[in-house]
Structure 1
């Protein structure tokens, strides 16, 4: 119950799903947590729930597309708790009506997603690192995606931005490791967040399950527990890595389920 005791964490996009799981688990294990989200009411409600369970959390507004808002979130964290030891860069999104194939995608959406998904990671790290250095080090955990490793018929800008997060993670780890700052990333596959449950049909979920190596889908806590591990001193010799948490979905030759079906038929 004290894996991150006395640490202070800022979790962006923390009002729901993966971010909420990360914030809740960090608080449960002793961290003081600031939950920053575009959904202010959701962030405050998440903080309230953590506090009612004996944790220590605050909820604030964050527009991750704006540099000033990101800087304010970092400075608020330091003002309230005196330091920042852990930064979870978890904001991300896409719009499947605009983020489609290369020829037809909306170029304004491309720019928006590069700001939201990639530049926000740069800026959060940029503002947090000087404070971490003053306090003797820290841990940065970036939420990327398996879309950063594999191509798709749509989500071109999303995938490119998430691939950028994977490489930016290595650059941060390389540039600030000697100051005792570790930077790692987590790449989720399909995770049954509330948004996913509300938007994915049973048929689509069955398709994903067909290609998973494990007989179940991922849950937010599967990512939250990975974030907790990377924030804790248990991972003190791990940096610059992207941990894939995706149930083995991308592990094997993609034709194997089809071959198995044919052989069993």
Structure 2
């Protein structure tokens, strides 16, 4: 129960889903956590739940599209707990109605997703790093996506923004490693967050399960535990990496499930 004992962590987008899981797990393992989210009521509820469970937590409003809001969240964390050791840049947006193929994509949506999904990672790191240097080091963790590695028929901006996060992670790791600052990313596949459960039709879930190497879908805690590992000293020699947590969905030849079905027909 002390994997991150004494560390101070800021989680952006921490009121629900992956961010909420990471906040709860970090607090359970001894970290003091600040939950930043546009949904301030949800962030407060999450912090109160952590406190009720014996942990230390605080909440702050965070608009990841605004530089001053990101800086305010970092400053609040340091004012509240005296330092900053773990920065989890977790905010990300997608829009299936506007983020289309490259011919039809709404260009304003392209700019919005690049600003929130990529620039917020840059800014969160930019404002956290000086405090981490002062603290003697730290761990920056970024939420990427398997969309950074495999293309889709739509979501061009989302995929490009997350690919940028993967490469930015390497740059931060290379530039600040000598300051004992590590930077890694997590690339989730399909994760059954509350939002996913409410919005993804059963037939789409069945499609994903068909192509997964594992026979089930990921949960928010599958990412939360990966974040906990990267925040802890257990991962002290890992930096610049993107860990793919996706159930083996992208592991095999894409024809393999259909080929197996064909072979079964021939028996």
TM-score w.r.t. length of structure 1:
1.00
- Structure 2 counterpart of 1:150: 150
Question: Residue in 2 aligned with 1:115?
Answer: 115
- Partner Cα distance (1:212, 1:242) in 2: 19
Q: CA deviation at 1:124?
A: 0.2
Give the corresponding residue for 2:94: 94
- 1:211, CA displacement in angstroms? 0.2
- Once the 2 structures are TM-superposed, how far is the Cα of residue 201 of structure 1 from its aligned partner? 1.0
Q: How does 1:216-255 map to 2 (within 5 A)?
A: 216-255=216-255
Q: Which residue matches 1:85?
A: 85
CA distance in 2, matches of 1:94, 1:203: 21
- Output the aligned Cα RMSD: 0.3
* C-alpha distance in structure 1 between counterparts of 2:167 and 2:62, whole Å: 24
Gaps of 5+ in 2: none
SS in structure 1 at match of 2:47: helix
In structure 2, distance between residues paired with 1:145 and 1:185: 9
Return 5+ residue gaps in structure 1 as ranges.
none
Aligned to 1:104, the other structure's residue is in SS state coil
Rounded to whole Å, the distance in 1 between the matches of 2:28 and 2:154 is 38
Q: How many residues align?
A: 265
TM-score for both structures, normalised by structure 2: 0.99
Q: Secondary structure at the match of 1:4?
A: coil
Alignment-derived partner of residue 31 in structure 1: 31
| Whole-angstrom CA distance in 1 between matches of 2:125 and 2:55 | 25
Give the 4+ runs in structure 1 shifted more than 6 A. Answer: none
CA distance in 1 between counterparts of 2:228 and 2:135 reads 20
Within 2, Cα distance between the matches of 1:116 and 1:94? 10
1:17-61 C-alpha deviation (Å, 9 max, x unpaired): 000000000000000000000000000000000100001001110
Q: Deviations over 1:194-219 (max 9, x none)?
A: 00000011111000000000011000
